Every structure is written in structure tokens, then in C-alpha cells.
Amino acid sequence: MSPPHAPGENARGKGQDSSPADTPKGALLIVGVIGAFVLWAHLGSGVQAFRSQVASEPGWDKFSAGYDIQYFGDDGQFVRAVQSGYNLIFYTYKYAPRFTRKKAGDRINACGSCHTAEDIAYAFVNSDRFDPKLGARVSFEDRVMRCYAGAMDGFVPTIYDPAVRDIRLFARAVAHHLQLSDGAIRKAK
Amino acid sequence: MNTFSEKVVKILAVALAGGGLYLLAAYEHGQRESIRRADVVLTPACIEKLARYGLESGEYYQSPYVLQRTGAKLATRGYADDDIRAIKRGCNIIDDTQGKLASDPDRERWNTRRFIRGTHTACRHCHQSVGDKQDAAGNRLVGSLNLGASWTMADMYDRFTGLLLPFELRQMQCYINSSNGYKPNIADDVIRDVTSYSRFLSVALDMKIANRYDEQGIDEIPASATPKQGDDYVRGEAIYRQKCESCHGPQAFGRVDPDGRLVAPAIAGPNAWNMQSRNYFYYVSTILPGFICRNMPLGQENTLPNQECRDIAYYLSNLPRPAGDRQGPIIALRQQVLMKVLPPLLRATGSARGKAAAAKSDSGE
């Protein structure tokens, strides 16, 4: 028969601290934290990132007409993604606040501060190529992610994030309007 | 003191494990980089294809195919040596996915076999002529699953997944369903090299982003494009015996020559695409008939009537094949049992039928 434990001693021996999971209170706390995380992940974290409704920002109608986005339909997932790409490019501070520290008051606060829509389309069709400066082949997504971290003074989204994907789709739509093939060379104005 | 040294040992163990993992990752990274920089030995089909399209490094690229067909001298951005090697590796992966022509498949094909179950599957079985099928006059064929056209049309809404499907994700689906295998990482060289090759094809064929091309995807055949006789298993089997069996074998398990080289891929049984593939008639009833009509039998493309293609597809999809990732364990088990039990039964009944037919013909009936 094993001796009873003295006060302050647990089953693993004297002097060893019990972990939170050893007590019902601790276990409840852990379950509570996990539950709260699941709830947050379900309700709070991704809703905005993955919603299919897109707000119409100033300039979209002109852009849409100018680049014949209607070719892809009046509405639809692709068109909405292109519109979301438009918002991300010209209002980055508003639509990708998770990935940039830039604010509305900053002089350079959006991709559109440095790049035109056509710059981005040409970058897209010239991506997946060797970049001598970096000594590696660089994809369009790599470049976008790098821009968020560098020029936008922020953080790198994952490759699957709509903040990257929608910019690629935006570039595709513009490249289609310009009838670009892969590797198209921009003519000097 | 005792507790202190225990803690030190623990910290050291964790540091050693972390350091070991880091060194392993650095080693693997170095290996990958050395493969990226290694010369690429092309398969015979890729030698022919890439030479025809004039793939060379330089500041500008001009497609001989476009020049010959249209007379237009379209210069696009040229390729660096690293790009050329990626394109070549991508071509090799399409043509010889399992590395049967490679001296070291693990290095030369990024060990693509690890993403594929079975020994038959290669991308070129569906994406024929290394993803760019043409007739003798150099016309691209309708519904021939051209990879260049697939690239230009990538990112569009996909009705099967409900996604704006990127080219990379589509490739991953091919590995999971058409190859009944496993998903590579989106940034894996296996995926990136095939994307590079597909992009090169789109340039060589002068395809514009997001334009529609007839050679992209499948020329689907719905029931409404037939005389509406209904898709018939019995009729399908008879046509299969007549038109397909000589290459794909009596039970559609594919055919391998005595040296172990694949002559025709499996279209049923354990080496074939699974039940979640778009080729599976019960999942999508228009794609496999379209593939058959436009691409089969080899050398006699576009000779089968629509109804016959649907009949063959219906027959094939009733033969046992692996379950897909959405069917669940019960169906998976059923399919495994069927794949074990049915072949010997069909062989027995097939040979009995053959004997009866031979006896019938001997007796002059």
C-alpha cells in the first residue's frame, strides 16, 4: 500500500509544481482559452478577409469602364475580386490594414501611390522570371508580399490571402484589356 | 544543483534538436538549389517540342511558330538560364512525371512520384503531346487540354470547386484526383516548373491573358449533344472492346511492355484516376466523353460519334477504381474490395465467354 501524500506534496513527488492541467480549474481554463480562440477564429478573424461583398470606392466606375471589366460579366466572383484588387491597390491603407502601417494621412499609403494599373499588369506577365538583383526566380505573389513588408512598411500576407490573390486577379483583368501575352515588353511612351 | 543541471540538460536537448532541424533544412535547401542549377537532360519529346519553339536564353524571345504561321515578329522578354532550366524541368515533368526516363528521378523530377499513387500516371496522358497537341499542319486541336491556354485562363471561376481557381491549385487537384495521390505545396518546384513551362507555351503560341481558346480544357459533350438514346453500359463495353481494348487492355488496367515501360495508361483499377476526378462520369458526365471524342483513339481523333464517347465513358466509370478524398472510408473500402475481387471474376467469365465463342465458331454456328 502506498503512503498517503503529505500536505504540499503531489503524486509526482515533493517540490514539483503541478501544471494548470492537473487541477479541474486549470483544465477548465485551458478549455476556455481554446474555446475562445475557436470562437474568435470562427466569428472574428476571417469574416472581413473572405467576404464576397466589395465596397465601391471612388474611381472604380471609371476604371471598370476604361479597362472593360464588363468583359468578365456585370457581376460575379471574378469581377468582385478585381474590384477588391482595385480597392487594395488604390486604398491599401483602408483595405489591407493588417499588412501595412501606412495611414490615410501618409503621402505614400497605397500601391497606387507608386504603380499604375498598367505597371501592375506588366509586372504580372513578366513574373516568374529570374531577377539578377535577387539572384532568384521571383513570382508575382512574392513581389506583392515583398511590397507589403517593404514599401508599405507592414507585414507579409500568406500566398493564399485575398490581399495577394485579388491583386493578381486585378492584374489579369488589366492584362486582358491590354491584350498582353506572357513576357510582353512595355513600349516606351 | 541537481534541478539546475536537469534544466541545463533540457535546454541543451531542445537547442540541439532545433539546431539539428535547422541544419537539416539548410542541407535540403542547398540540395534543392544545386538541382535548380544543374543542367537538365530533356526527354525526347521535350527536345523536339522546345527546339521547335526555339527556347534559348537571351534578352528577347521570338516564337518561330508564330513567325511561321502569321509572319508576325513578336518579341517578348527573353529568358535567363535559370528560367530556361525551370521550363525544361517543367516539360520533363509533364512528359515523364514518374521519371521513368530519368537516370535519377528524385533529382531530375523533384521526386514527383511521392505525390502519385500507382505506377501509370503521367500528366501527358491527358495533356497530350506534352501539353500542346496539334495536327500535322500545326493547328492546335479543340479540347486538347493545352497547358498554355490553361495558364492564360487560370484564376477564373471554377464551377466544380466554387473557387477562383489559380493555376497552381489546379495542378494540385490533378495530383490528388487524376493521379489519386497527394498534394504538393503551392510553392514547390514541382508546381512552379510546370507553371513556367505552361507560361512558355502560352508565349510560344502567342496566347493573350484571359482570352478564350478552343484548345483550352475539354470540349465537353452533354447528353443534349447526342441523339438522346441514353448512355448505355452494354453498348459502351462493345465499343471499348472494338476501339480501346487493344491499347488499354481487357479490363482497362493499362498495358506495360515486357521491359516495364508503359504503353497505355490505366483508365480503371488501382492505377487510374479516382472517383473525385472530373474524368469520373458519375461526378461530371460531360468531361470524359469530350476527352474521348477529341483525343481518342490516338491517330483517329474526332472519329467517334458523341453518343459512343458517352457510352464508353459510362462503361469505364462503372469499372472499379479508387475512391476520392470526399467519398469516405466505407466507399473507399468497397472500392478496394471491388478492385481485388472483380478482376479475377471478370477474367474467369471473360475466358469462359471466349471459350464459348470459340466453340460456337468451331461448330460452325
Query: A182, B61: Cβ pair inside 8 Å?
Result: no
Q: For residue B147, give the C-alpha cell.
A: 497547358
Separation CA B40–CA B84 (nearest Å): 9
Q: How many domains does chain A have?
A: 2
Same domain, B284 and B143: no
- Please count the structural domains in chain B: 2
B204 contacts on A by Cβ (under 8 Å): none
Task: Supply the DSSP symbol for B224.
Answer: G
pLDDT of residue A189: 58
In this structure, the answer to whether residues B158 and B248 fall within a common structural domain is no
Pair A41, A124 in one domain:
no
Are B166 and B252 in the same domain? no
- The domain of B231 spans 223-343
Is ipTM beyond 0.85? Answer: yes
Q: Which residues of A touch B75 (CB under 8 A)?
A: 185
Give the closest residue to B199 by CA, choosing from B261, B246, B269, B152.
B152
Domain check: are A155 and A76 in the same one? yes
**Domain assignment of residue A183, yes or no:** no
> Which of A178, A182, A187 should we substitute to test contact with B (largest number of B Cβ atoms within 10 Å)?
A182
Residue A189 counted as domain residue: no
- The count of other CB atoms within 10 Å of the CB of residue B132 is 28
Residues A62, A23, single domain; the answer is no
Instruction: Write down the pLDDT at residue B365.
Output: 42
CB neighbours of residue A115 within 10 Å:
17
Return the DSSP state at B179.
S
Q: Residue B194 belongs to a domain with what CATH number?
A: 1.10.760.10
Which has the closest alpha carbon to B91: B60, B135, B136, B122? B122
Q: What is the pLDDT of residues B70-104, one digit of tens each?
A: 888 888 999 999 999 999 999 999 999 988 888 88
pLDDT in tens, B41-61: 999 999 999 999 999 999 999
Domain presence at residue A61: yes
Do A74 and A123 sit in the same domain of this protein?
A: yes
Q: Do B318 and B237 reside in the same domain of the chain?
A: yes
Q: What is the pLDDT of residues B176-220, one digit of tens each?
A: 999 999 999 988 999 999 999 999 999 999 999 999 999 998 899
Interface of A to B at Cβ within 8 Å reads: 72, 76-78, 81, 124-126, 128-130, 132, 136-137, 139, 159-160, 165, 168-169, 172-173, 175-176, 179-185
Residue located via cell numbers 504538393: B184
Q: Are residues B192 and B251 in the same domain?
A: no
**Pair (A70, A136) in one structural domain:** yes
Does residue B74 lie in a domain region? yes
CATH number of the domain within which A59 lies: 1.10.760.10
Same domain, B178 and B289: no
pLDDT at B363 over 70: no
- Residue B193: DSSP 8-state: H
B86: contact with A, CB 8 A cutoff? yes
Same domain, B322 and B269: yes
Output the pLDDT for position B259.
78
Domain contains B157: yes
CA B329 vs CA B230, B268, B356: distances in Å:
32, 20, 40
User: What b/e string do you get for A3-13 counting C-beta neighbours within 10 Å, with b at 16 or more?
Assistant: eeeeeeeeeee
User: Does residue B179 sit in the same domain as residue B84?
Assistant: yes
Residue B240 has a pLDDT of: 93
Contact A128 B199 (CB under 8 A): yes
Q: Are residues A59 and A151 in the same domain?
A: yes
Query: Would you call B72 an interface residue with chain A, using a CB distance cutoff of 8 Å?
Result: no
3-state secondary structure chain A: CCCCCCCCEECCEECCCCCHHHCHHHHHHHHHHHHHHHHHHHHHHCHHHHCCCCCCCCCHHHHHHHCCHHHHCCCCHHHHHHHHHHHHHHCHHHHCCCCCCCCCCCCCCCHHHCCCHHHHHHHHHCCCEEECCCCEEECHHHHHHHHHHCCCCCCCCCCCCHHHHHHHHHHHHHHHHCCCECCCCCCCC
Interface contact A129-B80, CB threshold 8 A: yes
pLDDT tens per residue across span B3-39: 888 999 999 999 999 999 999 999 999 999 999 998 9
Q: How far is A156 from chain B (nearest CA, A)?
A: 15
Q: Could you give the angle at which helices A162-177 and A117-125 cross, rounded to 10 degrees?
A: 90
**Would you say residue B317 lies in a domain?**
yes
Say yes or no: B46 and B193 in one domain: yes
Q: How confident is the model at residue B358 (pLDDT cuts 50, 70, 90)?
A: low
| Residue B245 domain flag | yes
Within this chain, do residues A106 and A159 fall inside the same structural domain, yes or no? yes
Structural domain includes residue B243: yes
Q: For residue A75, what pLDDT is reported?
A: 86
Residue numbers in chain A where pLDDT is lower than 70: 1-22, 45-51, 188-189
Note whether B187 contacts A159, CB cutoff 8 Å: yes
Do residue A39 and residue A82 come from a single domain?
Answer: no
In this structure, is residue B85 part of a structural domain?
yes
**pLDDT digits over B279-338, tens only?**
999 999 999 999 999 999 988 989 999 999 999 999 999 999 999 988 889 999 999 999
> Would residue B152 count as lying in a domain?
yes
Contact criterion met (CB < 8 Å) for B208 and A137: no
Residues of A in contact with B210 (CB under 8 A): 72, 172-173, 175-176
Task: Establish if B296 belongs to a structural domain.
Answer: yes
The whole-chain average pLDDT of chain B stands at 89
Whether B209 sits inside 8 A of A126 (CB atoms) is: no
Domain containing A29 equals: 13-45
In this structure, the answer to whether residues A97 and A39 fall within a common structural domain is no
Tell me if A76 and B157 make a contact (CB, 8 A cut-off): yes
pLDDT at A3: 46
Per the structure block, which three cell numbers stand in for A83?
A: 474590384
Same domain? A151 vs A80: yes
The DSSP 8-state label assigned to residue B175 in this structure reads I
A97 and A26 assigned to the same domain: no
* A187 domain-assigned: no
- Quickly tell me which residue has 490581399 as its cell: A163
Residues A25 and A61 in one domain: no
What is the predicted pLDDT for the residue at B162? 84
- In angstroms, the separation between the Cα of residue A180 and the nearest Cα of chain B is 5
